[in-house]
Structure 1
């Protein structure tokens, strides 16, 4: 169900074309437009507006940022250029780095053929700035603009992405890193951000530009999950695969921080070669007294972020790479290059099975905001499942799909305990709560045994159960959904609603709002 990242496989086009006819508008064109009848010359002209090669992602700082969405093309792997949708003509979009406590203004201008928004994933922004079409704002129409303003209160590693028809728009490249630096500074010599993603590359139809429309109404939220996910045959770091991935230069003695952001729809097992390291933060929130690790993988699910730190004390050229049994993992690796180190001093071992860091037992216990046995204002259970309804595979919360799912209703100041259970047989569900951080209290019935773990996105593998808790301290109407956006688009969404919150937002029925 992850949308085609615009490298299309002919087989999938046939499958989805049939589904589009069968579902008769289930894949809903924006603003009532039938994209199967879109003027292809107009689409090609919009693509020509950007060169065949996009710019390298920039780093933007300051209190006012300008982001423009547009159609372009980008070389994803050697010799493999794909049509993409971009922020500021690159995938990922520019990394935005701001200082804790700053008021930020981001001016979004939409030059795409479809509406967009920006969601600030993990950042506790005011509700009106959350970027959810039909919930907090109307989608920004082609040729129109919208300004986001908020205070960057909480330091950490975050990211931004479109939340309009997001299963498709993220897959085309509409995302970027958002870093809030602490007032006291980062305390490292090198600070690198690696945004992980997956793309489809096989069987492009030569001579036809596919980036400006949904290709005859294709909607990837309707694709066969097993087949679709296996079609992601290019894994990327910062929009590049294989030899195109930038090296990470270091000097001996440097303290190095690597921020890992998963913008894709598959989990990745990231291994740092040649060095001891620590996981110092998850979803931007610090780990208390993290322990030293060696030859472990960090498992990072869709929407999650993990920050690792190491001292550059082993001169050479070392890999940081994905591990797994798919051929595509070979493309998701970067080289940590010491100054003066000869080429070829490290070898890939992406097929080796290594133990993943168990975050439920990692770090050192300390005082935390919540406990399992304290009294809570509200307790809620979310049973997550995969079901067939009316001949379609859907993803449910307590047996219902959005918008029929029961919202979590709170008032400001309430304490909320949520039990999450993954009843799906084969699929992970990385659950993301907007506007809030939650504390993970237990995993599979056992209380956490290490550092307090504070997150906004938590992955549940099949059969797993977690209990989390949070304070209702940010008024608004917020989404709580699976960040495998195929699952969200097929129903696995609910809302956290403050009953005493009054919004001025009025949804425009002509805006083509698609919040999932």
Structure 2
């Protein structure tokens, strides 16, 4: 994807018909392109949680600054209010959130509110929902916070540079009632990320099968990282500099886990025992599920509740070769006795019932994700790379079904903007308990079905959250036919 394309679809339409877009209310990015045209367009509004009367205001100053990784290494990163990563936003569902971004960089930027059901013009994707914020300029994002859960935010401009180097942070939305479905004694947020990406590295960053083509065709093989040389970080510091987290014997500690890495998945496990998975991408499960380990792909979030199963020191660590540095230290205050209970690995497939059929959908799309060895360097959906992929056209009120199959040797965490979706089947088997998420990770040769309700009119990016794959074409757009503003097939 080049950022110097001469003409876009919107520019072409404007040249033909004089399409004018004007600023409306609190959406200044929908602005007049042709002078003298002032007739307003009424933007469609999505159903959302009602405003509770409270407004939370934030000022984000984005600038270059020095970052220390905690082991003596320093680099020039992108800071928000002087912080790496950016500050945590914590609000209540129903709050009106007003965030002014002042761009002090020498390049454009935006922010995307990942997992938050914002109006389309607030979504932060250049060319699809928002114009990039130029150097020296400001933009105010405004939306009602919802749904509750562990969300996050990140840049959507020059993503392989801006996100790993600091333009990301946690976004926690508390339930409107103030009551959590799975109460804990205490909570912490742990953001996993990676630093050290090289421009034009000559290889594909990310997770791939270790079993070769034969294993891939059989749907097997372990996942290993191709991203050698990257530095793994916990809340912006190398794990060796993270202070031990002290937990009382018997205490329930909620961990909000956010994978903000541009390419890396993590396979987390405790030294002994298991933990309870309570939320997927911020959305509560019907019942908490015990798990011995948890595979978390880029942009996924999981909330887990940990109760110490051993005395003394222990670790939450990654099981993937090359990620031995990922060791989050814990220490138990008090004595723990007894034998920890065993539990299965976390997997989407754990919810499979194997039989049955899915309800009827109004729109049905089939997507094949491919690349690579025999198709050049670009990643493709149904044989085309963005912006040449075919948009998924829906209308308000549709139940939309998307079937995807990964026909490549690398995994793809697919993210839909503006909507939660349900994973309704995985590898051909319906789920007895659909999982509500906004990212679904497909390993080599895996397939899935996701359903969502088209209740948020706009133009919405749908892409792989391995940012190198996204930049190399693994993306498309969900377009509402009853939304007046076309997307322009262009990003930065």
Shorter-chain TM-score above 0.5: yes
Asked whether the equivalents of residues 103 and 135 of structure 2 are also in contact (C-alpha less than 8 Å), the reply is yes
Q: Which residue of 1 aligns with 2:348?
A: 359
Q: Which residue of 2 aligns with 1:75?
A: 68
Q: CA deviation at 1:362?
A: 4.7
CA distance in 1, matches of 2:143, 2:185: 29
Task: Determine whether 1:434 maps to 2:431.
Answer: no
Q: Which residue of 2 aligns with 1:376?
A: 361
Q: Residue 501 of structure 1: SS of its match in structure 2?
A: coil
Asked whether the equivalents of residues 440 and 469 of structure 1 are also in contact (C-alpha less than 8 Å), the reply is yes
Q: Residue 161 of structure 2: SS of its match in structure 1?
A: helix
Q: Which residue of 1 aligns with 2:434?
A: 452
Task: Determine whether 1:271 maps to 2:262.
Answer: no
Q: CA deviation at 1:374?
A: 1.8
Q: Which residue of 1 aligns with 2:406?
A: 422
Q: Deviations for 1:81-139, whole angstroms, at most 9, x for unmatched residues?
A: 22211222222111111111111111111111111000001111111110111222211
Flag the 1:112–1:229 CA change in 2: closer, same or farther, 3 A: farther
Q: CA deviation at 1:314?
A: 4.1
Q: Which residue of 1 aligns with 2:491?
A: 514
Picking from 278, 299, 309, the partner of 1:303 is 299
Q: Which residue of 1 aligns with 2:382?
A: 398
Matched residues, number: 414
Q: Residue 137 of structure 1: SS of its match in structure 2?
A: coil
CA distance in 2, matches of 1:310, 1:219: 39
Q: How does 1:112-127 map to 2 (within 5 A)?
A: 112-127=105-120
Flag the 1:465–1:333 CA change in 2: closer, same or farther, 3 A: same
Q: How does 1:198-213 map to 2 (within 5 A)?
A: 198-200=194-196
Q: Which residue of 1 aligns with 2:40?
A: none
Flag the 1:30–1:423 CA change in 2: closer, same or farther, 3 A: closer
Picking from 468, 488, 491, the partner of 2:450 is 468
Flag the 1:224–1:252 CA change in 2: closer, same or farther, 3 A: same
Q: Which residue of 2 aligns with 1:233?
A: 230
Asked whether the equivalents of residues 268 and 293 of structure 2 are also in contact (C-alpha less than 8 Å), the reply is yes
CA distance in 2, matches of 1:248, 1:111: 36
Q: Which residue of 2 aligns with 1:501?
A: 483
Q: Residue 90 of structure 1: SS of its match in structure 2?
A: coil
Asked whether the equivalents of residues 232 and 326 of structure 2 are also in contact (C-alpha less than 8 Å), the reply is yes
Task: Determine whether 1:184 maps to 2:168.
Answer: no
CA distance in 2, matches of 1:178, 1:226: 26
- Report the more deviating stretch, 313-322 or 148-157: 313-322
Q: Residue 259 of structure 1: SS of its match in structure 2?
A: strand
Q: CA deviation at 1:143?
A: 1.4
- Report the more deviating stretch, 461-470 or 188-197: 188-197
CA distance in 2, matches of 1:439, 1:152: 21
CA distance in 2, matches of 1:98, 1:260: 18
CA distance in 2, matches of 1:235, 1:62: 36
Q: Which residue of 2 aligns with 1:336?
A: 330
Asked whether the equivalents of residues 249 and 334 of structure 2 are also in contact (C-alpha less than 8 Å), the reply is no
Flag the 1:97–1:224 CA change in 2: closer, same or farther, 3 A: same
Task: Determine whether 1:318 maps to 2:324.
Answer: no
CA distance in 1, matches of 2:190, 2:348: 20
Q: Residue 135 of structure 1: SS of its match in structure 2?
A: coil
Q: Which residue of 2 aligns with 1:280?
A: 278
Flag the 1:473–1:94 CA change in 2: closer, same or farther, 3 A: same
CA distance in 2, matches of 1:246, 1:175: 22
Q: CA deviation at 1:230?
A: 2.6
> So what's the TM-score if we normalise by structure 2?
0.78
Q: Which residue of 2 aligns with 1:480?
A: 462
Asked whether the equivalents of residues 422 and 452 of structure 2 are also in contact (C-alpha less than 8 Å), the reply is yes
> So what's the TM-score if we normalise by structure 1?
0.75
RMSD: 2.8
CA distance in 2, matches of 1:455, 1:386: 25
Q: CA deviation at 1:253?
A: 3.2
Q: Deviations for 1:376-433, whole angstroms, at most 9, x for unmatched residues?
A: 11110010001468x9400000000111101110110001111000001x21011000
Q: CA deviation at 1:493?
A: 0.8
CA distance in 1, matches of 2:405, 2:186: 39
Q: Residue 93 of structure 1: SS of its match in structure 2?
A: coil
Asked whether the equivalents of residues 55 and 98 of structure 2 are also in contact (C-alpha less than 8 Å), the reply is no
Q: Residue 413 of structure 2: SS of its match in structure 1?
A: strand
CA distance in 1, matches of 2:386, 2:142: 29
Asked whether the equivalents of residues 274 and 293 of structure 2 are also in contact (C-alpha less than 8 Å), the reply is no
Q: Which residue of 2 aligns with 1:8?
A: none
Q: Residue 121 of structure 2: SS of its match in structure 1?
A: helix
